[in-house]
Chain A
């Protein structure tokens, strides 16, 4: 069983420019192989793309559907490989092309990044094209699975719509039980990651995971998460759209049990 919160909030520069929030996120969780499988997806539309918000929304919906289809058809997460992810990406690119045609535009105008985590009872799969990061916890430390992709300049990254998407794809499958993880888009990178040594900043995550573990219903935290993402202390540090997904396995010791 998993508890999770997942919110995307418009950045202040997007508000100023009259640009909608171009981030999207989605979470799905269902029974598979005797355990609750968790799927987390985040996508950030390219700022220069005319239909960026449509791109990221389609990306989240399509990828969740693809992964759900694969897992429910009996394929095992323990045997997941890069080729499986490429299949999902091909389906996504096809859907984005169709949507571009419907909008009478080029698929370039739906360019977006993609961050994916699929977590099972004793294995997990991670995939990423672009910036932002997936962070997993390991006992008492947090670690980014991949470092955000960037070219020489920070405002240039890779997108699922690129011709070279297969080369850009970062993929990892791991054995071992993940208890907690987070995904965020590039708007929160400089708040949650330490650039000097390419690590995750633990104190950013700890208080929020504590709250999530203690909450009776994770949905009670949605409003609080949105308010946090919109808060002055966050907006002082970033003017980009912000997405944060936090997930914790129910049954992880919370502080009150650990202290007794």
Chain B
């Protein structure tokens, strides 16, 4: 029997739903040398891996906020395809409290932009990496993190590089902080990319990372 061709070639053009992610990165002086170099390479890996995935390339919106001698929005939200990984330099103290407030505000602002443009978005990520502890006021920031997590306004992850104050990180983050194994930044960012690729899939329910970062071949140990 001849097969009757069936279908359409005309599809609605809709804006892609977005996965917004703020990378909140410690660039204090203790990060100088091999640490910041590996972190920079990790950012390149994150861009490459994510941009290579058809759906994620259109959906992941990334911003970079650094904290060191100042808190700076180095990269405002941009689609991962247009993201130019910055070459970070280390200098200064660790104003983590201020940086966290800034990241949370950016996420809230970004949601307003999406809503006013009829763009859907998945639950935003705030992904913080530090090798120390806050040198500024941080308790209010910790409150904001907990409030945001209870309201499911965003997901906040804290990763400590060797030397990080995991005790304080444990008070700031609602989720248990993870300790990076050595300088496995590349593995960390590949994991982040894959997790976001799976977030941008259509699975109802809470986001579940692709693979536990603390698996034996993972990039982290539980702090």
Contact = CB atoms under 8 A, between A and B. Distances in A.
Interface of A: 11, 13, 46-48, 150, 152-157, 186-187, 190-196, 201, 203-208, 211, 215, 220-221, 223-225, 227-228, 231, 233, 236-240
A203 B8 CA distance: 8
B55 A192 contact: no
Nearest to A5: B6
A201 B6 contact: no
A207 B11 CA distance: 12
A228 B9 CA distance: 10
Contacts of B15: 195
B122 interface: yes
Q: Which 4 A-B pairs have the closest CB atoms?
A: A224-B6, A228-B7, A48-B205, A47-B203
B118 interface: yes
B205 A204 contact: no
Contact of B202 (A13, A196, A215, A220): A13
A227 B55 CA distance: 22
Given A47-B202, A155-B202, A203 B14 contact: no
Given A13-B203, A196-B118, 14 more contacts: A47-B205, A48-B206, A154-B121, A156-B205, A157-B204, A187-B202, A195-B12, A195-B120, A207-B8, A223-B3, A224-B4, A225-B7, A233-B11, A239-B201
Contacts of B10: 201, 203-204, 207
A195 to B, nearest CB: 5
Nearest to A236: B54
B123 interface: yes
Nearest to A191: B11
Nearest to A224: B6
B154 to A, nearest CB: 11
Given A154-B17, A190-B14, A227 B6 contact: yes
B122 A153 contact: yes
Contacts of A215: 4
Nearest to B203: A47
Given A155-B205, A156-B204, A237 B11 contact: yes
Interface string B1-37: 1011111111110110100000000000000000000
Nearest to B115: A152
A239 B202 CA distance: 8
A208 B6 contact: yes
Nearest to A157: B204
Contacts of A240: 201-202
Given A150-B120, A196-B118, A47 B204 contact: yes
Contact of B11 (A152, A155, A187, A204): A204
A202 to B, nearest CB: 9
Contacts of A190: 12, 14
A193 B202 CA distance: 17
B205 A186 contact: no
Interface in B75-96: none
